[in-house]
A and B are shown apart, each in its own frame.
Chain A
C-alpha cells in the first residue's frame, strides 16, 4: 500500500500569514501520462470533506486562489496564502494512483 505521511503545522497560525502543509508518499504518484495523482481535501469542523486541489496543483472549481499545490513525485506541499477564519479545519492529502486509495493522517490548522 502507498503510505501518505503529513506534517504538522506550528499552530495557531496568525490570521493573514501564510501556511504550508507537507505530504509525503511512499511511492511516486507520477503516472505515465504525466499527471501526478495527489489530491488535497479540507474538512471544516462538523462538515464533510471538500476537494481543494487535484492532480497535485489544479484548484477545484470555486476554490480560492489563496490555495496552491506543488511538489514532485513523492513530496508535496499545500500552501495557503493569507490564512483566514474559513480555512480552519483538517487538511488531508490523498493518492489516487493505486488501490487501495489512501489518505494522509490529516493536518489541523488553527487560527490565532
Chain B
C-alpha cells in the first residue's frame, strides 16, 4: 500500500524559513517523480514543485521560484521542500504526491503551513 506522510508544518513569521518532509512507502521510491501541491484555506489546488526520480531535475511555478527548493533522498525514501522568504500567501495545506505517467496518482494527508506575524 502506497503511503505518503508529510511533516514539518506549523506557524512561521513572514520572511522566515520552513522545511517540509514527506516519507514514502509501499513502492520503489527511486523510480518515480515526486511533487508538492498546495491548497490555501478554502481555495483550489496549486502545483508547487516537481522532482525527477534521481533528483537531477526540478521545476517550479513563478510564484515560488527562487524561494522554494525541492530535493530528495532516495536512500531514505523522502522528499523535502525548503521554503524561504515565506509570505502570507504561502499559507496553505501542502500535499506530497507520487507521480504516475503524467498524473498525480497518490497524495499524502497534507501538512498545514501558516505564515503570520
Cα A41 to Cα B45 in complex, Å, equals: 10
Does A92 reach chain B (CB closer than 8 Å)?
yes
Knowing that A51-B104, A100-B62, A103-B45 are A-B contacts, what are 19 other residue pairs whose CB atoms are under 8 Å apart, sorted by A's residue number?
A37-B102, A48-B107, A48-B108, A50-B107, A51-B103, A51-B105, A51-B106, A54-B100, A54-B102, A92-B45, A94-B45, A94-B104, A96-B103, A99-B50, A100-B59, A101-B50, A102-B47, A104-B44, A106-B45
Among candidates A48, A96, A100, A102, residue contacting B95 with C-beta atoms closer than 8 Å: A48
Which residues of A line the B interface, CB within 8 A? 35, 37, 39, 41, 43, 48-51, 54-55, 60, 92, 94, 96, 99-106
Among candidates A35, A49, A96, A103, residue contacting B46 with C-beta atoms closer than 8 Å: A103
Contact A101/B47 with A48-B110, A50-B107, A60-B105 known, Cβ cut-off 8 Å: yes
Which residues of B line the A interface, CB within 8 A? 44-47, 50, 59, 61-62, 95, 100-110
Report B71 CB to chain A, min CB distance, Å. Answer: 18
In the complex, are the beta carbons of A49 and B107 less than 8 A apart?
yes
Cα A60 to Cα B106 in complex, Å, equals: 11
Cα A55 to Cα B103 in complex, Å, equals: 8
Residue of B nearest to A60 (CB): B105
Among candidates B44, B59, B95, residue contacting A99 with C-beta atoms closer than 8 Å: B59
Report A26 CB to chain B, min CB distance, Å. Answer: 16
